[in-house]
Amino acid sequence: MVSPPTPSPRPPRPLRAPERLPPPLSESCDAKMSEEGNPASRPTPVQDVQGDGRWMSLVSDPARDSRESWGHHRFVADSKDKEPEVVFIGDSLVQLMHQCEIWRELFSPLHALNFGIGGDSTQHVLWRLENGELEHIRPKIVVVWVGTNNHGHTAEQVTGGIKAIVHLVNQRQPQARVVVLGLLPRGQHPNPLREKNRQVNELVRAALAGHPRAHFLDADPGFVHSDGTISHHDMYDYLHLSRLGYTPVCRALHSLLLRLLAQDQGQGVPLPELTP
């Protein structure tokens, strides 16, 4: 009986260059959720249902409710010839802030840019940031205020969208700090959307705790009265802030911005307590 031939020894496997370590578990999970499962963290442009291109618009539209209608292309153009220290990005609460005197008093001296678009949700802000609004500037701070328009998303999904925005800013602008403003209560009386915003704030606060370049600031100075109602003097439609309502929000934010800017300039100004 003939014995089977002895197999020749397998040549040694050539050495390969070491592979890059995978991202931390939380980062990889966030990325997977962004790409596959969470619509709030999937970059998406606004559908042009009016057919007038207002979201992408380069010029103002004085015919629209007698207010300036800023769009994505306008913001990209502004970023090419401005040198802001602070950039605000978000929804109508950011956009309308620019029309108040307190903006000129507190934020214009910081050479701030306002990239707010009414109606935007987290996925829309992500799309704008991925498509040019951060390309030509090097701000020291990016202020993010968005999430209250994510009506069809859970609190966990909205939180994922906000975290994705923070992560994207950290990637594109590593020198910049990110300040996330908490979502405001909404509605004249207690309601599910108000409760969801409260849950989002708790989740975002916990997610950013200990983050070296991101900070959560509760934007609510106490708009909800003891009986659970909100005054139209603070929120004229129980969603958008009046000039009176903007005042305490902007002053608290301005104080934080000055402290962060001073700290980065090595002036040793202590930071406020951001998370109780």
Two structure tokens written together for 15? 């050495």
**pTM score, whole prediction:** 0.79
Q: Please answer whether residues 80 and 190 qualify as being in contact, where contact means their C-beta atoms are separated by less than 8 angstroms.
A: no
Summarised one tens digit per residue, pLDDT across range 218-272 is 999 999 999 999 999 999 999 999 999 999 999 999 999 999 999 988 644 444 4
Beta bridge partners of 88: 114, 143
CATH number of the domain residue 145 falls in: 3.40.50.1110
Residue listed under structure tokens 């994922």: 160
The whole-angstrom separation of Cα 262 and Cα 210 is: 20
Q: Is residue 8 part of a domain?
A: no
Q: Is residue 48 part of a domain?
A: no
CB-based burial label for 83 (10 Å; 0-12, 13-18, 19+): exposed
β-pairing, 113-116 vs 86-90, is: parallel
Summarised one tens digit per residue, pLDDT across range 118-166 is 999 999 999 999 998 998 899 999 999 999 999 999 999 999 999 999 9
Sign of the C-alpha dihedral computed for residues 74, 164, 254 and 189 taken in this order: positive
Summarised one tens digit per residue, pLDDT across range 19-73 is 333 343 344 444 444 446 899 999 998 775 666 555 565 444 444 443 444 576 6
Q: Is residue 72 part of a domain?
A: no
What's the N-to-C CA distance of the chain in angstroms?
83
Range of the domain at 83: 78-264
Residue listed under structure tokens 């934010």: 253
Catalytic residues: 92, 237, 240
Number of structural domains (the chain) is 1
Q: Please answer whether residues 233 and 180 qualify as being in contact, where contact means their C-beta atoms are separated by less than 8 angstroms.
A: no
Q: Is residue 144 part of a domain?
A: yes
